[in-house]
Homo-oligomer: A and B are copies of this chain.
Amino acid sequence: MNILVTLNSNYIKPLKVMLKSLFLNNDKESFTIYLMHSSLLKEELSELREFIENQGNLLEIIEIKDDYFSDAPILLHYTKEMYYRLLAFKFLPQDLDRILYLDPDILVINSVSGLYNQDISGHLYAAAYHDILSIREINKVRLNAYDIDAYYNSGVLLMNLELQRKIVDEQEIYNFVQKNGQKLIMPDQDILNALYSQKIKSLDERLYNYDTRYYRYYKLKNNGICDMDYIFENTVILHFCGKKKPWKKKYSGKFHALYKHYEKLALNNR
């Protein structure tokens, strides 16, 4: 399976935790991790390589030179890295037909094979939207000039690379940023939704992009079904959305201890 990650030095530790959980809960699979970056140091890269290869998987490093994006508009509050996810298909081997992008603030607690191998023909991506009133409505209103039904979260993206090569237009993305720069809060996620919302296959967030802030909400909304037993049986991806992150000192949340468990395994590489 092909996994895509894009990151800078601040996220190496969380990335290891995410990968550890992925590898442990998918120990029959073999993974190639494609890492897109522009700023990681040699030592950081070789440490990551060792970590991944020690667990029987492969690392492919894709270094993006800044001059690639010399024509791209940049925003005050974001770097050019915001384009990596959207334009990954340009940098990945041209014979890959699909790849699963994963944010580093994630734990994978079950098999990803159902997610990875599903039919996405006709769709550019598969993604989940967080159906919590506040998140959904605010973002729809913000991007109201665009025809979006749902505001998808870009932290878990199954990518149809074949179709993206045919359809996704780099210049169109730049034009969008030029026009809407001021309005963009989460640039790549906003672009994804504004331009491609109609071509995204919708995933069940409870399975593939469970927002760890909302345990009680998921449980209530699903008549109590979506409890801890359900999660450990069914949920594949726990996503630690929001500003408070489980690797930070002051974090507190339902999945805090679970995160620390995987963090310990990852950092001891056991």
A228 within 8 A of B: yes
Please tell me if the beta carbons of B260 and A228 are within 8 angstroms of each other in the complex: yes
CB distance from A259 to the nearest CB of B (A): 8
CB distance from A244 to the nearest CB of B (A): 13
Please tell me if the beta carbons of B258 and A232 are within 8 angstroms of each other in the complex: no
Give 1 or 0 for each of A37-57: 1 = CB within 8 Å of chain B CB: 000000000000000000000
A233 — which chain B residues lie within 8 A by C-beta? 264
CB under 8 Å from chain B, chain A span 48-76: none
Give 1 or 0 for each of A236-270: 1 = CB within 8 Å of chain B CB: 00000000000001010011111011011000000
CB distance from A50 to the nearest CB of B (A): 21
A172 within 8 A of B: no
This chain's copy number in the assembly: 2
Q: Per a CB cutoff under 8 Å, which of B229, B249, B260, B263 touches A260?
A: B229
A227 within 8 A of B: yes
Please tell me if the beta carbons of B254 and A256 are within 8 angstroms of each other in the complex: yes
Please tell me if the beta carbons of A256 and B228 are within 8 angstroms of each other in the complex: yes
Q: A227-B249, A249-B227 are in contact. Are A257 and B260 (CB under 8 A)?
A: no
Please tell me if the beta carbons of A264 and B227 are within 8 angstroms of each other in the complex: no
Question: Nearest residue in B to A228 (C-beta to C-beta)?
Answer: B260
CB under 8 Å from chain B, chain A span 213-242: 227-229, 231-233
Task: Give the CA-CA distance A256 to B80 in the complex, in Å.
Answer: 40
A232 — which chain B residues lie within 8 A by C-beta? 257, 260-261, 263-264
Which of A228, A249, A254, A257 gathers most chain B CB within 10 Å? A257
CB distance from A216 to the nearest CB of B (A): 9
CB distance from A117 to the nearest CB of B (A): 22
Give 1 or 0 for each of A190-213: 1 = CB within 8 Å of chain B CB: 000000000000000000000000
CB distance from A232 to the nearest CB of B (A): 5
Chain A to chain B: the 8 pairs with minimum beta-carbon distance, closest first? A257-B258, A232-B260, A228-B260, A255-B257, A232-B264, A258-B258, A228-B256, A258-B261
By a beta-carbon cutoff of 8 Å, the part of chain A in contact with chain B is 109, 227-229, 231-233, 249, 251, 254-258, 260-261, 263-264
CB<8 Å pairs between A and B, sample of 21: A109-B261, A227-B249, A228-B251, A228-B256, A228-B260, A229-B249, A229-B260, A231-B257, A231-B260, A232-B257, A232-B260, A232-B261, A232-B263, A232-B264, A233-B264, A254-B256, A254-B257, A257-B257, A257-B258, A258-B258, A261-B261
